[in-house]
């Protein structure tokens, strides 16, 4: 791989987030890549009469505004655009490929009933055997079944990143990493499960063709393509799921490393060549999800900074609003807690009253509750950080047992990678070297997949392609 491509046109990466969306521009200067965040806008679901929905028009307008802002910054032209984002939610399409309605948000309550009703037709155990992933009511399968229960007419559908690409002229596809989050993919064949579609009464012909990350989908069309910089722009399916994209942005070689995608929630896992499954894996609720180069992301959902956010909301309601950086600084000077939390206890996943929920668990464990006065926030913070680090260590121990790997390094990516206190506690709890990745690792991974696609002739589903992506990630995000 050359240090820089011969085609020095710019690249654009779009990251759709449930709280904010970003449009970033990569340009070349003296053979080095320079990445600039060009546009960011807030996002969030909106309660409508029909339920909780995403404001699709606002998302489209925000992303396209970002692309227009890129135009004057890249007079050399834009070579390609790729989009990653959150998984599971989808847009239903009419016969012309236009959106029939705003997409539902995965948090909508309709999914709870759909999960219960669907498991009367196909058991949770059988579903797990086929897909190899943790079953969550937010998964696409339950949402599609909720459509069926409500009498909504069947229609073609695309997940959000693939929908935006198709809107701009791309071939309508289901990108592999995103597809594996639908709970509709057979982990062995790595294609749509005909059994699940049949048992759920869903039409498999309405699902798009699954393609690997790194697939060229056609040229940008429509009004944006009238801008000179976008006159010859390729549309690429990256790792459309943002976590898979973030993992692709980790420039790690070898087989002795694990990752923690750290944010509101934590995904603790490692990359394997094949899915890992069995009764013990299922009992531990690990998932096998798609990765770049047909690799497998074997990980578990663990609670994360959700606990802190909920505590901060509770303290803010009482007029106490310290910054997270101040809380973490003060927490480092607190004594080590004698009793730690089970951070994945269902009660701690709920909204509101988090200090009270934490104390209820402490009391149930036979420990003294913490003073809930906002001035005692550093003690709560210390308890949460120590508890998360222990949970990470427990999860990594199980990962080694299930995969047979010997882990020596952890790469922490996402917004939580900047939490030096938690990083230190994680290193102490695990005994592993902790490397802080980029907080924008999904953007790095997005660009790396684009470059590997454009600069190599490797099959996108090959391990060699995964290696090429890693090399580009290293070029874009060299060790400090």
Give the three-state DSSP class for 76. coil
Determine the Cα–Cα distance for residues 87 and 241; give it in Å rounded to an integer: 6
Q: What is the pLDDT of residues 91-103, one digit of tens each?
A: 999 999 999 999 9
Determine the Cα–Cα distance for residues 346 and 57; give it in Å rounded to an integer: 35
Look-up of token digits 């909504």 = 152
Determine the Cα–Cα distance for residues 244 and 248; give it in Å rounded to an integer: 6
CA-wise closest residue to 432 among 423, 440, 441: 423
Report pTM. 0.92
Would you state the structure tokens that stand for residue 278, as one six-digit string? Answer: 């069995």
Domain ranges of the chain: 10-244+442-476, 252-437
Instruction: Tell me which architecture the domain covering 10-244+442-476 has in CATH.
Output: 2-Layer Sandwich (3.30)
DSSP 104: B
Q: How confident is the model at residue 416 (pLDDT cuts 50, 70, 90)?
A: confident
The count of other CB atoms within 10 Å of the CB of residue 350 is 11
Give residue 438's pLDDT. 84
Q: Answer yes or no: 242 catalytic.
A: yes
CB 463 within 8 A of CB 273: yes
Q: What is the pLDDT of residues 336-395, one digit of tens each?
A: 999 999 999 989 988 889 999 999 999 999 999 999 999 999 999 999 999 999 999 999
- Give me the chain's average pLDDT, please: 95
Catalytic residue among 15, 89, 242, 277: 242
- Same fold for the domain at 10-244+442-476 and the one at 252-437? yes
Say whether pLDDT at 31 is over 90.
Answer: no
Give residue 295's pLDDT. 95
Q: Tell me the CA distances in angstroms from 394 to 50, 286, 415, one per residue in order.
A: 42, 13, 22
Instruction: Tell me which architecture the domain covering 252-437 has in CATH.
Output: 2-Layer Sandwich (3.30)
CA-wise closest residue to 77 among 12, 2, 23: 12
């Amino acid at each position: 791989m050359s240090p820089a491509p011969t085609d020095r046109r710019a690249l654009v990466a779009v990251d759709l987030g449930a709280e904010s969306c970003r449009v970033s521009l990569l340009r070349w200067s003296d053979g080095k890549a320079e990445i600039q965040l060009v546009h960011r806008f807030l996002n969030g679901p909106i309660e409508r009469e029909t339920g909780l929905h995403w404001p699709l028009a606002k998302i489209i307008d925000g992303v396209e505004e970002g692309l227009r802002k890129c135009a004057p910054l890249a007079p050399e032209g834009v070579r390609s655009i790729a989009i990653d984002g959150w998984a599971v939610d989808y847009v239903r399409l009419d016969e012309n490929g236009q959106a029939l309605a705003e997409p539902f948000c995965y948090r909508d309550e309709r999914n709870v009933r759909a999960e219960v009703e669907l498991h009367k037709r196909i058991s949770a155990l059988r579903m797990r055997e086929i897909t190899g992933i943790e079953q969550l009511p937010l998964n696409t399968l339950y949402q599609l079944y909720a459509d069926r229960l409500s009498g909504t007419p069947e229609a073609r559908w695309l997940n959000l990143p693939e929908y935006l690409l198709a809107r701009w002229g791309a071939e309508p596809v289901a990108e592999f990493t995103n597809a594996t989050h639908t709970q509709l993919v057979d982990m062995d064949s790595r294609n749509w499960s005909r059994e699940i579609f049949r048992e759920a009464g869903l039409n498999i012909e309405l699902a798009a063709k699954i393609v690997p990350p790194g697939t060229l989908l056609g040229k940008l069309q429509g009004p944006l393509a009238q801008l000179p910089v976008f006159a010859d722009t390729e549309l690429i399916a990256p790792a459309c799921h943002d976590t898979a994209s973030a993992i692709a942005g980790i420039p790690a070689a070898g087989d002795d490393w694990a990752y923690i995608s750290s944010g509101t929630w934590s995904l603790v896992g490692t990359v394997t060549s094949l899915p890992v499954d069995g009764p013990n894996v299922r009992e531990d609720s690990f998932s096998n999800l798609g990765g770049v180069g047909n690799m497998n992301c074997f990980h578990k959902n663990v609670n994360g900074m959700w606990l802190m956010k909920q505590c901060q909301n509770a303290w803010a309601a009482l007029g106490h609003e310290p910054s997270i950086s101040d809380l973490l600084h003060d927490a480092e000077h607190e004594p080590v807690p004698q009793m730690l939390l089970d951070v994945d206890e269902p009660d701690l996943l709920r909204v509101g009253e988090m200090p009270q929920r934490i104390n209820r668990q402490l009391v149930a464990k036979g420990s003294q509750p913490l003073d809930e006065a906002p001035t005692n926030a550093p003690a709560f913070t210390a308890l949460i950080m120590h508890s998360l680090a222990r949970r990470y260590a427990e999860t990594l121990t199980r990962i080694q047992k299930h995969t047979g790997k010997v882990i020596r390094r952890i790469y922490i990516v996402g917004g939580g990678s900047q939490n030096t206190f938690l990083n230190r506690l994680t290193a102490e709890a695990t005994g592993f070297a902790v490397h802080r990745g980029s907080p924008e690792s999904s953007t790095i991974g997005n660009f790396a997949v684009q470059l590997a696609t454009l600069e190599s002739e490797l099959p996108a589903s090959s391990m060699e392609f995964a290696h090429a992506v890693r090399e580009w990630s290293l070029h874009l995000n060299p060790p400090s």
